[in-house]
Amino acid sequence: MQKLTPMDTVGRRHPARQDLREIFYRPAILFLTVCTRDKKPILANEAIHNTLREAWKAADS
């Protein structure tokens, strides 16, 4: 049984981003693009924005 990777689940062969190059003692800046299935406007809501930001802040990987 083949294990699926995140790329397999969205039909990509390569990540849609470049690899992060970590320079020690310097903060990393990442740009995220978040999309919804069928372009539904569920992200156009302040409560959802706050929930996403809190989840990302709490994430450790």
Q: How many CB atoms lie within 10 A of CB 52?
A: 13
- pLDDT per residue over 25-48, tens digit each? 777 777 778 888 888 888 889 999
Torsion 45-15-9-4 (CA) sign: negative
* Paired tokens of 7: 């790329």
Which amino acid, 28? A
Domains in the chain: boundaries: 15-58
Given this model, what pLDDT does residue 50 score? 92
Question: Rounded CA gap, 31 and 19, in Å?
Answer: 12
pLDDT at 18 over 70: no
State percent of the chain over pLDDT 70: 66
* Paired tokens of 40: 């539904």
Given this model, what pLDDT does residue 5 score? 59
Given this model, what pLDDT does residue 43 score? 86
